[in-house]
Structure 1
């Protein structure tokens, strides 16, 4: 028996049915995109399971893509078999391998600057690009799964083996990072790298980039479901409250800083919150906004200083929300309004994509 025959026999024993492979890739791509986006909102260790599942699903996807490429290799290498859908298939393959490769490289400690993006941001870009390409690929290669594909006990064992293998590889990667120090630094469960000192990066979400704000012309308004709305100039803010908090940015870094400013709870007490209030919305001069439950908002800080220094414009001066346990994009910069509300604000997700655009 030749080596090629041995490989084919081995692959045929462990590979699920072709249609199951194709639909499993679609399901896992959908899960990876959804879990990746959801992970942006997870900032406390009790949500670490989501990152674990994202990694295991990604490693399982590697095996499924390998099966797929092995099966169609002759159609790709033989140009006489190409058709209009071949270009989409090749592009989808390149993007899939790029998304998987950049994700695995980031986990093992690699990084690179691509224009203004780091390796994690490139991974996210390729992951999002997979969605339209996968749907387009399905449109040209649509074959619904059959009942027979799911009835074989062998298929269940194959998928169990793939998932267990993904989990084992993930644990092996963690062990390798610890033993060989391949990650270079101790990361959080989110994958973010530490940034020491007060010179942490200035990052903004999408297009938020306002001109520097003149504090003499700026004021903070607090309204909504309160008894006594407030309008405070910068000099009227009592900024003696301090809070040490960890800022974990979705671009892949984190920092622990001592922040100083005014407690949101003190502002709410001064305004008098209505009994039916449930959320507090923080609004930027750019239109960007985010909401927190009232009780969580009470423990947040509207910061005017970080460390011993006043906030710089890039870090959100004159006022920035500091929300422990939340990811960096939820720490609203350049805050000019606080609104107490009965309901949440689902439109805030849309605003994160369009705020700052003229």
Structure 2
């Protein structure tokens, strides 16, 4: 007499075998040369659990990245509307952008680990719909890997590729989000089936090949926490003592502030002569000022953060002349925009435009001093712009000309 396990009909046993076949990656008609994968690390509920975390990280990274892009390269219609407050706005959003992107790297690796047995399913395509699904997954994985690792290299200011980073990174971000939304739409039934521990239809696989799901997820969470803690201190200064792996430390640099672009990189290694330097202000009543004349004007001191696209930021004390005072002296109308020109010989941000919200804000200065000291050459001597809620690349150094638009 043959015994059958209680509660399992022949159809149920067949269904279980079919479902196991979907994750082992071995087709009965194909030889034993294909690899066989077992264990909870490769089941759909583990993939769904990691996918939730990864989805949140990518969503935060994408939204803050869009904010960063439009603050850094605003279209003409948006330029006059950009708000200078809160003063810490860009510091927060860009810090979140880099932190969430960094945290997403171990999450992406964990997600790929849970699903990579599917790469060995045979035959590789079973229908046109299945082929399109696999193509969308290929685009999703390629875009995610490119975005996260190119963004990581950008934080180190290392660009081992021939294309311009900013426009390509921004364009691929939309490809990534589109592929992700398509993937979620295709996988909705499976995601719903494995969203919670007690979801109906959840298939438990044996844990013969490694730690169970809970240990695996705890390890992933620990990895995410570790990489975040040892890098986020470059932006969240209370955690700066744990800043072990970030490319910048907020206290390291001349005058206690990091420098991304040095005077040598800007073609000003020979320095700037204080006696010969002149500030030209072009407007209805154009004029020029020497450094001594600029220092003789009413000086104002503000505390503002400088936040760079690479993710580091720090507040500092800046002293100088209000931009609005310089504009008023030139007869600029209240709604005028401002163009700022630097002495630097080369660079994508040698010329910067500023909307009226920034130009007329009382916290926006043509700074002459940093933390009570005359600006160092690397920090923009003899004069630089400092404004609230602006990317660091737009805080123009070595200013020589202001133009009322």
Would you call these one fold, judging by a TM-score over 0.5?
A: yes
Instruction: Give CA deviations for 1:102-125 in whole Å, capped at 9, x if unaligned.
Output: 95xxxxxxxxxxxxx896445998
Alignment of 1:7 onto 2:39: yes
Match of residue 66, structure 1, among 85, 88, 113? 113
Q: Which residue of 2 aligns with 1:230?
A: 287
SS at 1:65 equivalent: helix
| Alpha-carbon distance in 2 for matches of 1:333, 1:321 | 6
Larger Rg: 2
C-alpha contact 1:285 1:335 (8 A) present in aligned 2: yes
Q: Which residue of 2 aligns with 1:149?
A: 186
C-alpha contact 1:198 1:257 (8 A) present in aligned 2: no
Indicate the structure whose relative CO is greater, using CA pairs within 8 Å and at least 6 residues apart.
2
Q: Which residue of 1 aligns with 2:275?
A: 216
SS at 1:71 equivalent: helix
Structure 1 position 201, deviation (Å)? 2.9
Alignment of 1:280 onto 2:338: yes
SS at 1:194 equivalent: coil
C-alpha contact 2:91 2:235 (8 A) present in aligned 1: no
Match of residue 323, structure 1, among 387, 390, 398? 387
Match of residue 243, structure 1, among 293, 298, 302? 302
Match of residue 203, structure 1, among 260, 264, 271? 260
Q: Which runs of 5+ in 2 are unaligned?
A: 1-19, 25-35, 72-88, 123-137, 176-181, 198-213, 240-245
| Alpha-carbon distance in 1 for matches of 2:109, 2:60 | 14
C-alpha contact 2:58 2:101 (8 A) present in aligned 1: no
Structure 1 position 48, deviation (Å)? 6.7
Instruction: Give CA deviations for 1:307-331 in whole Å, capped at 9, x if unaligned.
Output: 3322122111111111122232121
Distance 1:124 1:32, change over 3 A: farther
Match of residue 43, structure 1, among 90, 113, 121? 90
Match of residue 236, structure 2, among 173, 178, 188? 188
| Alpha-carbon distance in 2 for matches of 1:311, 1:176 | 36
Structure 1 position 243, deviation (Å)? 1.9
Superposition pairs of residues 1-358 of structure 1, within 5 angstroms: 6-7=38-39, 10-12=42-44, 36=65, 38-39=67-68, 41=71, 43-45=90-92, 54=101, 61-67=108-114, 69-72=116-119, 96=145, 99=148, 120-121=156-157, 149=186, 153-155=189-191, 185=233, 187-188=235-236, 193-195=249-251, 198-204=255-261, 208-210=266-268, 211-224=270-283, 227-238=284-295, 240-277=299-336, 279-286=337-344, 288-297=350-359, 298=361, 299-341=363-405
| Alpha-carbon distance in 2 for matches of 1:219, 1:50 | 39
Structure 1 position 195, deviation (Å)? 1.3
Distance 1:204 1:305, change over 3 A: same
Q: Which runs of 5+ in 1 are unaligned?
A: 76-88, 104-116, 139-144, 342-358
SS at 1:296 equivalent: helix
Q: Which residue of 1 aligns with 2:80?
A: none
Distance 1:188 1:39, change over 3 A: farther
| Alpha-carbon distance in 2 for matches of 1:128, 1:14 | 34
SS at 1:290 equivalent: strand
Structure 1 position 288, deviation (Å)? 0.8
| Alpha-carbon distance in 1 for matches of 2:193, 2:165 | 31
C-alpha contact 2:305 2:314 (8 A) present in aligned 1: yes
| Alpha-carbon distance in 1 for matches of 2:64, 2:365 | 29
| Alpha-carbon distance in 1 for matches of 2:227, 2:377 | 37
Instruction: Give CA deviations for 1:281-322 in whole Å, capped at 9, x if unaligned.
Output: 221123712222223223311112223322122111111111
TM-score, scaled relative to structure 1: 0.57
C-alpha contact 2:306 2:392 (8 A) present in aligned 1: yes
Distance 1:65 1:31, change over 3 A: farther
Instruction: Give CA deviations for 1:204-261 in whole Å, capped at 9, x if unaligned.
Output: 189533242223322112224xx31222222221452222222223344333322222
